[in-house]
A and B are shown apart, each in its own frame.
Chain A
Amino acid sequence: MVPLSWYVVLGVLLFVIGAAGVLLRRNILVVLMSLELLLNSVNINFIAFGAFHDDFRGRIFAIFVIAITAAEVAIALGILVALVRNKATLKVDEVTMLKG
């Protein structure tokens, strides 16, 4: 039987790797993919705690997280396509069009 703390440690590792991708990478596509990884590492925690406490509300929350993630990716990639059409860059630092 795998102890609960192993799952939580795996979630921590994936969360830190995803946060590193968000903070250190400058490519918008990779930043978005790292956000997916962040949400997935939280899902692991939800399902692990739900399984170990014999409560399937963890799974229900994971389903909601997946649904909201799908919506978020669709909107984010739509914004990205519109952005690249207006200004041909993929670097986060160069997207300063809203600055007056």
Chain B
Amino acid sequence: MEQGFFLVFAAAAVITALIMVLTHNPVHSALALMACFLQISAIFVLLAAPLLAVIQIFVYVGAIMVLFVFVIMMIDVREAVLQRFVPGGSLPALVLLVLLGVEMLALVIMSDRFSVAAPATSRTAGNIRELGTTLFADYLLPFEVASVILLVALVGAIVLARKEAD
């Protein structure tokens, strides 16, 4: 049952990711990527991480993709639609990609470290209280650094996108 759900979500995620890369229109790419993120959040639910699934939908589908769609609306994409998909001289990139994929798949398949059995009674499954305690106690400094980074990104994005006054 769980394996069937996983296969459905994984197949949908891979297909939508392929559509995202292969389609010519950036709007279609954005919509396909949105669908892909929804599948990935379903996979997070299968991994007993419902908090991460909700964060995934809020942040990626709710915020980041809306930002992308806004920018696509601001920019004239008609010129980009007409361009050639794969430019000449991309053979090295293709070879590199195939090598990367084969290497990673070979590592995954030939390694015996991925045969970990899931813990019978998951101690931390769905325990958001414990997650929050760890996040705000052991990882307080990284958390604060991340919030400063977000603040800097906020100010930087406003400064970058502002029209020059002079």
Contact A23 B75, beta carbon cutoff 8 Å: no
B109 located at the interface, meaning its Cβ lies under 8 Å from any Cβ of chain A in the complex = yes
Contact B122 A18, beta carbon cutoff 8 Å: no
Cβ-neighbour of A53 out of B20, B96, B115, B116 (below 8 A) = B116
Closest to A46 in B: B52
Bound-state CA distance A34–B158 (Å) is 24
We find that the number of chain A residues with CB closer than 8 angstroms to chain B is 72
Contact A84 B75, beta carbon cutoff 8 Å: yes
Which of chain A's residues have a CB closer than 8 A to the CB of B157? 74-75, 77-78
Bound-state CA distance A70–B77 (Å) is 23
Bound-state CA distance A11–B26 (Å) is 24
Are A81 and B161 also in contact (CB < 8 A) when A30-B29, A56-B130, A64-B142 are? yes
Which of chain A's residues have a CB closer than 8 A to the CB of B18? 17
Which of chain A's residues have a CB closer than 8 A to the CB of B94? 24
We find that the number of chain B residues with CB closer than 8 angstroms to chain A is 85
Cβ-neighbour of B68 out of A5, A32, A67 (below 8 A) = A32
Bound-state CA distance A84–B79 (Å) is 13
* B1 CB → nearest A CB, Å: 10
Closest to B153 in A: A71
Bound-state CA distance A31–B15 (Å) is 18
Bound-state CA distance A74–B67 (Å) is 8
A4 located at the interface, meaning its Cβ lies under 8 Å from any Cβ of chain B in the complex = yes
Bound-state CA distance A37–B19 (Å) is 12
Contact A40 B37, beta carbon cutoff 8 Å: yes
Contact A51 B153, beta carbon cutoff 8 Å: no
Are A63 and B14 also in contact (CB < 8 A) when A23-B93, A71-B153, A79-B160 are? no
Closest to A12 in B: B104
Interface residues of chain B, those whose CB is within 8 Å of chain A, are 2-3, 6, 10, 13-14, 17-18, 20-21, 26, 29-30, 33, 36-37, 40, 43-44, 46-49, 51-52, 55-56, 59-60, 63-64, 67-68, 71-72, 74-77, 79-80, 83, 85-87, 90, 93-94, 96-97, 100-101, 104-105, 108-109, 114-116, 118-119, 122-125, 127, 130-131, 134-135, 139, 142, 146, 149-150, 152-154, 156-161, 163
* 18 pairs of residues in contact across A and B, judged by CB atoms under 8 Å: A5-B114, A12-B105, A14-B14, A16-B97, A17-B18, A17-B21, A18-B21, A24-B86, A24-B93, A29-B26, A34-B21, A37-B36, A40-B40, A52-B116, A64-B142, A64-B146, A70-B64, A78-B161
